[in-house]
Structure 1
Amino acid sequence: MKNSPKGFIPVMLTPFYGNGKIDFDALTQLTESYLKAGASGLFANCLSSEMFELTDQERIQVISHVIKVVNGKVPVIATGTFGGTINKQADFVKRVHDTGVEAVILISSLLAGEQEADEVFDQRFFDLLDQTEKIPLGFYECPIPYKRLLKPQQLQQYVATGRVIYHKDTSLDLLQIKEKIAGTAGQKFGLYDAYMVHAVESLKAGAAGLSCIQGNYFPELIVWLCQHYDDVNLTNEVQKVQHFLIDNMDVMHNVYPLVSKYFLQKRGLNILTFTRRDVGSFTPSVIHGIENLYKDYDFLREDLNIKIAV
């Protein structure tokens, strides 16, 4: 976000009770753990939060609860578009903004259909801009219902309005990221990369930080990477962290976010593995992979002298 130092913006989980209701006590503990780990902001009500499985009322309740717990320590952003007419989307953007978020995030794939041209997207975005007064906005290239990537020229045009201050990039394309950063230089705007394969290169290119699911396993490690990615005295250690994230990519994505909730249990958080979204089976082989990830992270954390945040 525009007022944040370069750093980590967690894509927050939503804890549930075994009956499927939101566990707000666990959400408090989870929020506090992100803060203790050194997060420079929070992304509430996102895909990791199972936002499509929440009602509008629950979305507002979750966002409001996070903002209350944060109490101004860091900025909070949250998704505010879930399809329908632009009028309908604008109305919910306003509701989300009223909770106190710094920016309301737009899902790029919900402003235009997969086969619709960029011109249609542009028209709807500027219509939404007009209907949401001076509310700061951001973009999330969410893979659901489909992934719609913003072209660097589009993003440059949107940021130039002074209203778009955040972009979560999921292009997996370092060249595009560099073009987006170059095209928005000098603006009150931050690009946050979600893809850990080139996390270090993104940060060196000028990304404002990282916003990735790996932070729902070990947030303090992602914070460490944001702080030390360009430290010439820690080049080997930074490469070790980058390789660790790449080597464990599949393990962390398999039946996510169930597996990350299990991992957080092992860290000491009072969170159940219940998910409203059907993400697949929590098989013995999946459990074995997460158990190994936990052990490997413990070795890495001790090697880097990182304290675990619970």
Structure 2
Amino acid sequence: MEQEKKGFIPVMLTPFKDNGDIDYEILTQLTEMYLQAGASGLFANCLSSEMFELTDEERLQVIKHVINVVNGAIPVVATGTFGGPITKQADFVKRVHDTGTAAVIAITSLLADENEAVAVLNDRVFELIDQTPGIPLGFYECPVPYKRLLSPQQLTDFVATGRVIYHKDTCLDINLVKQKLEAGKVNPAFGLYDAYMAHAVDSLKAGSAGLSCIQGNFFPEMIVWLCNNYADIALQQEVAMVQQFLIDNMDVMHNVYPLVAKYYLTKRGLKISTTTRRDVGNFSPAIRNQIENLYSDYTHLQSSVGIKNYL
């Protein structure tokens, strides 16, 4: 049986100049890198984009720029909720949708406070849906300001409205992912994209629509390769090698992220500054050495598996 087509949706970085301004020239090159690597969509204006450090106008400008570069080749989704009354959030969702996004993403932890009940979140989601008629929506279980997971039943109820087509999952639990995948049965247009690479292969085999992970900001072509080949019987040894590589290097890529991702991309030839607006901590010599080793280890893995480099 032919495997179901899976997709990689990068969580995009925002390049900054050394003075902190957005570097649109490098943003163009970064977008083209994702395209050349084979991404099936892009998630602009997300946590990796340092969305909380951007103004509303910068958020919209970044999304518009990415959409212009993509020029219809693949869909772009982007975050559209940043707290406050639902009326205010709905207004910005409309502005994000007007840029040409395929779906506008709602942050679960900005729709209800940590101490508010599940019923409160549910009411606000349905209120947001009512106030944004006709706009395709998605969810992102963003860990900032706190992580708020959706239950399988919640996700199913939201997808059943016909308006929710995208979900970026961060539950880190493959059994819970499998339960959430049931939501797709009520709307074939819905896709769950997993962020947790420690169970990437299992998630793809269980029915996830694809992967949406920070690792794609280091080696996007490898995540695309995994989406394309996870079920290929002839490549199971190579698939296992890639999966183990992701597990072994999980912590390295989360240290002072996204600075480390930007530094890694400089080693691949992209002239991106390591400047971040978010305070992510000290890029120590020890962390730098870890990234140097990651680059070396990935180069070896590429050769062993036969993954083409796109930079």
Bin the TM-score by the shorter chain: over 0.9
What is the deviation of 1:221? 0.2
Could you list the runs of 5+ residues in structure 2 that have no partner in the other structure?
none
* Pairwise CA RMSD: 0.9
Query: What corresponds to 1:294 in structure 2?
Result: 295
Is the 2:159–2:186 Cα contact (8 Å) retained in structure 1? no
Matches within 5 A, 1:96-115: 96-115=96-115
Query: What corresponds to 1:248 in structure 2?
Result: 249
Is the 2:165–2:190 Cα contact (8 Å) retained in structure 1? yes
Is the 1:12–1:45 Cα contact (8 Å) retained in structure 2? yes
User: TM-score normalized by structure 2?
Assistant: 0.98
What is the deviation of 1:115? 1.0
Task: Give the letter aligned to residue 114 of structure 1.
Answer: E
Is the 1:137–1:166 Cα contact (8 Å) retained in structure 2? yes
Distance 2:169 2:221 in 1: 21
Matches within 5 A, 1:156-235: 156-185=156-185, 187=187, 188-235=189-236
Percentage of identical aligned residues: 70
What is the deviation of 1:304? 1.5
Distance 1:182 1:282 in 2: 42
Could you list the runs of 5+ residues in structure 1 that have no partner in the other structure?
none
Is the 2:80–2:92 Cα contact (8 Å) retained in structure 1? yes
Matches within 5 A, 1:14-93: 14-93=14-93
Q: Helix, strand or coil: the match of 1:26?
A: helix
Deviates more, 1:8-17 or 1:296-305: 296-305
Matches within 5 A, 1:249-288: 249-288=250-289
Distance 1:210 1:16 in 2: 26
Is the 1:5–1:40 Cα contact (8 Å) retained in structure 2? no
Distance 2:297 2:89 in 1: 44
Q: Which runs of 4+ in 1 moved over 4 A?
A: none
Task: Give the letter aligned to residue 291 of structure 2.
Answer: I
In the alignment of these two chains, the number of paired residues is 307
Distance 2:183 2:270 in 1: 41
What is the deviation of 1:73? 0.4
Q: Helix, strand or coil: the match of 2:240?
A: helix
Q: Helix, strand or coil: the match of 1:184?
A: helix
Distance 2:80 2:5 in 1: 24
Distance 1:283 1:61 in 2: 33
Task: Give the letter aligned to residue 285 of structure 1.
Answer: A
Distance 1:266 1:247 in 2: 21
What is the deviation of 1:186? 5.2
Question: Can you list the C-alpha shifts for 1:249-283, whole angstroms capped at 9, x where unaligned?
Answer: 11100000000000000001110000000001011
What is the deviation of 1:96? 0.1
What is the deviation of 1:183? 3.2
Distance 1:11 1:301 in 2: 22
CA spacing shift, 1:64–1:5, aligned 2, 3 Å: farther
Question: Can you list the C-alpha shifts for 1:55-88, whole angstroms capped at 9, x where unaligned?
Answer: 0000000000000000000000000000010000
Is the 1:220–1:309 Cα contact (8 Å) retained in structure 2? yes
Is the 2:103–2:165 Cα contact (8 Å) retained in structure 1? yes
Task: Give the letter aligned to residue 189 of structure 1.
Answer: F
Task: Give the letter aligned to residue 179 of structure 1.
Answer: Q
Is the 2:156–2:186 Cα contact (8 Å) retained in structure 1? no
Q: Helix, strand or coil: the match of 1:167?
A: strand
What is the deviation of 1:21? 0.1
What is the deviation of 1:184? 2.3
Q: In the alignment, does 2:142 pair up with 1:142?
A: yes
